[in-house]
Amino acid sequence: TMEAAYILVQEHLLHGLSVLKVSCRTSARQQEVLMHSDMDQIINTRRQLEEKIRAKVSKPAERLCSESVQPYLGSVLEEMMEPISSGFLEGRQLSETMMDRASQDVLQGAEYEDLKKVLVDMARPGLLSCYQNMGSLQDKLQHLQGRFGFFSITRVVHSAQVDLQQLMKNAAYTFQLLLCRIIEDKPENAASVIEKAKHRVLKQYDYDSSTVRKRIFQDALVSITLPFIKDNLSPICKTELQTLEQNIFAEYSNFIHVENVYESILLEILDKE
């Protein structure tokens, strides 16, 4: 029967998963033992690798950044700021509106269930318009695709949308805590106390939003410029990087990756710009 077949397949998959878990745990323990016993050698090997890569790529990478990346960073950043910042600003305004609504309900003596619904809505607001603002970033940067050769920054946009959603949840949670405390204390100047609570939440939102947006802008700049730099340096570095990869001891290959070291050096150079 269909049910018997389903159970048979499920048992087979569960057995395979169990075997895989045991294998992964065994491998992880072996790698951990090796890492602890050979830590000094692993660190020295990585340092030597980094020195070789840095000696090879630093000058051409710095020249490429100064000539073909740095002159455009200002305009790229300017293009990014408007859609991302407007998305976070709209989220702030929405949060403030919903806090005002909850405040009025409290001051007018609304039933707890009605207030609870407002607070739940505040934690899960409709952010479609905010998301659309952020999504317009792809179109705004389209004219740069020819210069830098990137295909999409969808990952950056999605990350910004997730960050906004989290900020809204944080604001709702904090305001709910403050509001519940006010309801319990029943102060005479409830309106003033609630207003202060709202401003406290918005102040925290502004601080967190600023921090998050700086990271988003940095991630976006890296997403746009790092592939461009790697593509342009490939004719110079590709063969040597492959040779260096082959020279790493096989037992250390799980701990040291040439591509990761190479990329970290390029990111250091980009950070200076």
Helix, strand, coil percentages in the chain from 3-state DSSP, rounded to 5: 90, 0, 10
Question: pLDDT for 119-134, tens place per residue?
Answer: 777 777 788 888 888 8
| pLDDT of 89 higher than 90 | yes
The CA dihedral of 152, 155, 157, 161, to the nearest 10 degrees, is 160
pTM of the model: 0.72
Give the angle subtended at the CA of 269 by the CAs of 266 and 271, to the nearest 5°: 110
Of the chain, the percentage scoring pLDDT greater than 70 comes to 86
* pLDDT for position 209: 94
| pLDDT of 187 higher than 90 | no
33-47, 213-227, 254-268: lowest mean pLDDT where? 33-47
What separation, in Å, do the N-terminal and C-terminal C-alpha atoms of the chain show? 66
Rounded to 5 degrees, φ, ψ at 110 are -65, 155
Q: Which two tokens stand for residue 144?
A: 């740069």
Which is nearest to 258 in space by CA: 30, 60, 48, 65? 48
